[in-house]
Amino acid sequence: MSRSLNKVMLIGNVGNDPEIRATSSGARVAKLSVATNRSWSDRSGQQQEKTEWHRLTFFGRLVDIVEQWVKKGDRLYVEGRIEYSQTEGEGGTKYWTDIVVNEMVMLGSTSGGGESAPRGGFSGGGEGDASGGSGQPPATEADDDLPF
């Protein structure tokens, strides 16, 4: 049997404060959106820009970290996997694409003042993380965790 890979890496800005909920089994889940931007010049030389929005889902230990430290406007590096789902409703079937995050590095905040968030990498665990959770402490230097 051949192996496959489902891995996503994003650096972007948080578009909304996290929403924290509980699943039917009682596990806590955090959800938020992150925007990524790309720029290019079109054939006529005009600068173009496009923003893509990504729905992120956090489980396990990452929920507590996201709840306490992540706010709208923050810059994050995340790694995870793509999951697709659908829901049936009055308006028909809705399709969702989520990034289930298992690694996160807080890169900074665009909001001024207030309590400063810890910079560093965090590994998830629990439901939604196939590794079962690493229980590792956060990394001390955020830039060392970046894959480039």
Q: What is the pLDDT of residues 81-103, one digit of tens each?
A: 999 999 998 989 999 999 999 99
Instruction: Check residue 1 and give its pLDDT.
Output: 76
Q: Domain residue spans in the chain?
A: 8-145
Mean pLDDT of the residues in the chain:
82
pLDDT at 111 over 70: no
Q: Which CATH architecture has domain 8-145?
A: Beta Barrel (2.40)
pLDDT at 117 over 80: no
The model's pTM is 0.73
Instruction: Check residue 121 and give its pLDDT.
Output: 63
Query: How many degrees, rounded to 5, is the angle at CA 119 between CA 79 and CA 113?
Result: 120
Instruction: Check residue 48 and give its pLDDT.
Output: 94
d(CA 113, CA 71): 13
| More confident of the two residues 109 and 93 | 93
pLDDT at 36 over 60: yes
To the nearest 10°, the Cα dihedral for 61, 115, 106, 47?
140
